[in-house]
Amino acid sequence: MLKNKIIYFIINSFFIIVALLCINYNTIFNNNFSFPSIILIVFLFLIVHLARFIRMYFILLENLINPNRFLQLYIKTTFVSTLVPFKAGELYKMYCYSIETDNTLTGIVTVMIEKFFDALVLCLFMAPYSFSQSVFNPLYVILLVFIVLVLILYFSFEGTYRYLNNFLIRRGGGHKTLALLKILEGTKKGYDSAKHTIKGRFVLLLSLSIIAWGVESLLVTLLNSNRLNFDLNVVFQYISDGFFGITNILFSQYASLCAIIFIPLLLIIYSKKYFIVLKNKKGANNGKANRSLRR
């Protein structure tokens, strides 16, 4: 148990330190926004992440994670996944949700569902523009391929599962067969969980995704021009550069915003946890001292 806690602490520390090293600190102090613009920027940022927080909470609703604990998870995983390039932070997000739910497959499926809805909304936003302007966008193709592959996997899984399950049972016993059946049953549980989540909450998750990306588009245009002058070119360039790990001023500003808002929250969260542990330890020591006196 102690070994698992130490590993969890090391992995958390590693990814948070890497995220801190990825911040372009120059952009934090070189933004010339008016005070009303700063208020609006922070407000839009909070709306974006409120929508994403609610979406993720509903994806993991059956796991009954305490809302305060879930908020801690969301802040640290979002902080890392936003700042670490090439979407490597998504692996950290999968790891954290796997540990929290005590199920590796649940952590992976949760992030895949989140990414599926992000990809779906981005394709809906980008498709009309790409076709009307006859612009080839590599990100649009990647997202479309991802959506198609997920849908093929989703709709073909049950038939494939029945075939493989019958095949392995007819094949007979053996360690390899039992191991494969166990893996197959694990994937079936992950599929059933994803199916239940998507079937019961598809409209809600899609709506929250549209709100999140719609508001983030407004936020990006405000960061770009210091006014709400919506520009699809700017928004798509920001999304594309962020996906491929290319640094641009808008993504740096958004990352700076994450740092300004999330770092203090992370400090509060971990300071609170430290004082709670310290208080419990002190209480335990006092209890031992009292028992010794009674003896």
Confidence of residue 283 (pLDDT cuts 50, 70, 90): low
Alpha-carbon distances, residue 183 vs 98, 149, 156, 176 (angstroms): 17, 21, 17, 11
Average per-residue pLDDT for the chain: 84
Measured distance CA(132)–CA(167) in Å, rounded:
49
Q: What is the mean pLDDT of residues 122-149?
A: 81
| pLDDT(257) > 60 | yes
Q: Is the pLDDT of residue 292 over 60?
A: no
User: How far from the centroid of its chain's Cα atoms is residue 140's Cα?
Assistant: 20
Q: What confidence category does residue 93 fall into, taking pLDDT thresholds of 50, 70 and 90?
A: very high
The percent of residues in the chain predicted with pLDDT above 70, rounded, is 86
Say what the pLDDT of residue 200 is.
80
Helix (H, G, I), strand (E, B) or coil at 64: coil
Torsion of CA 96, 101, 103, 107, to 10 degrees: -50
| Other CB atoms within 10 A of residue 76 CB | 22
The 3-state DSSP class for residue 34 equals coil
Instruction: Say whether pLDDT at 69 is over 80.
Output: yes
Q: What is the pLDDT of residues 199-223, one digit of tens each?
A: 889 999 999 999 999 999 999 888 8
Instruction: Give the pLDDT confidence score for residue 291 in this predicted structure.
Output: 55
For residues 259-272, give the mean pLDDT.
Answer: 86
Residue 57 has pLDDT above 90, yes or no: yes
pLDDT tens-digit map of 137-170: 788 888 999 999 999 999 999 999 999 989 888 8
Q: Is 112 helix (H, G, I), strand (E, B) or coil?
A: helix
What is the distance between the alpha carbons of residues 210 and 119, in angstroms, rounded to a whole number?
11
Q: Can you give the pLDDT at residue 269?
A: 80
The answer for residues whose C-beta is within 8 angstroms of residue 76's C-beta and 6 or more apart is: 12, 16, 96, 266, 269
pLDDT value, residue 284: 61
pTM score: 0.87
Cα 133–Cα 222–Cα 256 angle in degrees, nearest 5: 110
Place 92 in a pLDDT band, splitting at 50, 70 and 90.
very high
Q: What are phi and psi of 80, to 5 degrees?
A: -70, -45
In the block, residue with structure tokens 């958004």: 254
- Most confident listed range (84-88, 92-96, 128-132): 92-96
Instruction: Kindly tell me if the per-residue pLDDT of 280 is higher than 80.
Output: no
Q: Which residue has the higher pLDDT, 251 or 156?
A: 156
- Per-residue pLDDT band at 75 (split at 50, 70, 90): very high
